[in-house]
Every structure is written in structure tokens, then in C-alpha cells.
């Protein structure tokens, strides 16, 4: 998938993955890839800065824990993050409806005229 297509949607995607519960960064990356059927194989250099940005904005909360002797940062949605996700979903529905109306099949009797 083109990275330009994700511009403006990464935060919503991360929040949607965290909606199911707290996860550490690498698990978030794996969930994005799995839920997208492999289309979203995002590098850590894209995901971790976005998670830090969401944390600074108060949309996710991060905590450190030790798992198998390794330090991991686990992220979870905050109430503000849940509200942002709801707003993003609403905006996405509006966007896809509008774009679908334009890109969808031409109305009957309105085929493309030859140039």
C-alpha cells in the first residue's frame, strides 16, 4: 500500500488496534499487519513516533514493564483516545461515502463519453 494513502490515517489505525486492549509497540505493528491482510507492514520508525505523539496528546497512556527480562512500553487508550477514535470513524464514514459516490460506477445512461 502506498504510504501516501496512510497519511492522516495512521493515528486512527493505531487507536483502533488499541481499542481491543493494552499492547506493546511490536504487537501493535503485528496487529496492523494481520488485520490488514499484510497490506500494512509499517516500520517501527513510523509507528513508535506516532505512539509517542498520541501519548503526548493524551490519547494513549504508556507504561513500562519487564517481560522476559526485556523492558517494554505498553500502550492503552485513554478516554480522550476513545473519543478521538469515534470522531475518526465518523469522519472516515463520511469520507468513504463521498469518495465512493464520485469513484463508483457511473449512473445508468451516463457512461464515459469518448474523447
pLDDT tens-digit series, residues 59-85:
999 999 888 898 999 999 999 999 999
Q: Please report which confidence band the pLDDT of residue 105 belongs to, taking 50, 70 and 90 as the band edges.
A: confident
CATH code, 3-90: 1.10.10.10
Domain ranges of the chain: 3-90
Q: Look up the pTM and report it.
A: 0.82
Task: Please say whether the beta carbons of 77 and 15 come within 8 A.
Answer: yes
> Please, which contacts does 84-91 make with residues 24 or more away whose CB atoms are closer than 8 Å?
84/11, 84/12, 84/15, 84/59, 85/12, 85/15, 85/16, 85/19, 88/9, 88/11, 88/12, 88/15, 89/12
Task: Please say whether the beta carbons of 21 and 54 come within 8 A.
Answer: no
Amino acid at each position: 500500500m502506498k504510504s501516501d494513502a496512510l497519511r492522516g490515517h495512521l493515528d486512527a489505525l493505531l487507536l483502533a488496534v488499541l481499542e481491543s486492549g493494552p499492547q506493546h509497540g511490536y504487537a501493535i505493528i503485528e496487529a496492523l499487519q494481520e488485520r490488514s491482510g499484510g497490506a500494512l507492514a509499517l516500520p517501527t520508525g513510523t509507528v513508535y513516533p506516532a505512539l509517542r505523539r498520541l501519548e503526548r496528546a493524551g490519547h494513549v497512556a504508556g507504561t513500562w514493564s519487564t517481560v522476559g527480562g526485556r523492558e517494554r512500553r505498553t500502550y492503552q487508550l485513554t478516554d480522550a483516545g476513545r473519543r478521538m477514535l469515534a470522531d475518526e470513524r465518523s469522519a472516515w464514514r463520511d469520507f468513504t461515502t463521498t469518495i465512493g459516490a464520485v469513484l463508483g460506477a457511473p449512473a445508468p445512461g451516463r457512461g464515459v463519453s469518448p474523447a
